Amino acid sequence: MAKKGLLLINIGSPRSYEVPDVKKYLTEFLMDEEVINLPFVLRWPLVNLLIVPRRAPFSAENYKKVWMKEGSPIAVYTRRFAELLQQELKDGFVVKVGLQYSEPSVESALKELQQAGVDEILIAPMFPQYAEATNGSSFKLAEKTAKKLHLTTPLRRLPAFFDDASFIGTSVKLTEETLQDKKVDHYLFSFHGLPESHVRRIPGCLTTEDCCFEKNACAKNCYRAQCFATATAIAESLNLAPSHWSVAFQSRLGRGEWLKPATDHSLEVLAKTGKKNIAVICPSFVADCIETLEEIGIGGQETFHEHGGDQYYLVPCVNDNPKWVQGFADLVKSL
């Protein structure tokens, strides 16, 4: 019976929350030219002499706050998701996880798929909205590694799933379960930020403040437009009035211009303008991680409370939710 390979790619995490492991991880991550788009001679000293030495101790403390018994949240949830997905797909697929900047690596995953004798491999970056720094980088790494391994098995690319019915539906279900009968004044959709320079590579993007809200205004791989599309789909499914939800962007790095508004600024403004009870949803992440659990779950809540906010609810990511596992399996089988 013919088998297909499915390679789930995520960014990964440090092996532990100890500073040396965090330094190693941050260095590998930030030295990716798709993450920091500078020539190597400028990127190397910036990363190794400035950013990593300053950020590693601070990041290590943050990782420690959210570390799970089995490891880092993103690694744990990705592994659980892959195991459940394999059960759902049964013998027709061989599912492997490859992490861009940690173990198990993309190379080790491709080797295992090669040894399994699959007929083709579907490369699946686990990032709902397309960005060159995530999806694009994943595809390039997988294709470069396959060439290095002299892999002749055909590779296919999973499209961005920002508007996938199961992804949206699971996000809605988790939001409803988290909030139930709670009073919520405002819903904030917090997406991972990107430098504006990355987004402007798409023809027509960021030409006006609301250009990405207009259907078909941007090219199909516009990250900002896909973020708005995801948020709109979830908000409409929840029957939210336009004034009851908004979009913001988190995890800014460096001094350049990033997508706005910033999540921390939005939380401050919401609290100061009388939105006492808010819910935060992070739909650019399929697995909870340091960016959702610590940056938003802990740091975001502190910011909101410091400026007068009261109740703060963080909606979990889709993680290994059974509805999401089944929906993603259906998506994969449909391609």
- Residues at the annotated binding site for Fe(2+)? 192, 291
Whole-angstrom distance, CA of residue 230 vs CA of residue 129:
8
How do beta strands 120-125 and 4-10 pair?
parallel
SS (H, E, C) the chain: CCCEEEEEEECCCCCCCCHHHHHHHHHHHHCCCCCCCCCHHHHHHHHHHHHHHHHHHHHHHHHHHHCECCECHHHHHHHHHHHHHHHHHHHHEEEEEEECCCCCEHHHHHHHHHHCCCCEEEEEECCCCCCHHHHHHHHHHHHHHHHHCCCCCCEEECCCCCCCHHHHHHHHHHHHHHHCCCCCCEEEEEEECCEHHHHCCCCCCCCCCCHHHCCCCCCCCCHHHHHHHHHHHHHHHCCCCHHHEEEEEECCCCCCCECCCEHHHHHHHHHHCCCCEEEEECCCCCCCCHHHHHHHHHHHHHHHHHCCCCEEEECCCCCCCHHHHHHHHHHHHHC
How do beta strands 93-99 and 186-192 pair?
unpaired
Annotated binding site: 192, 291
Closest CA to 234 of 191, 195, 264: 191
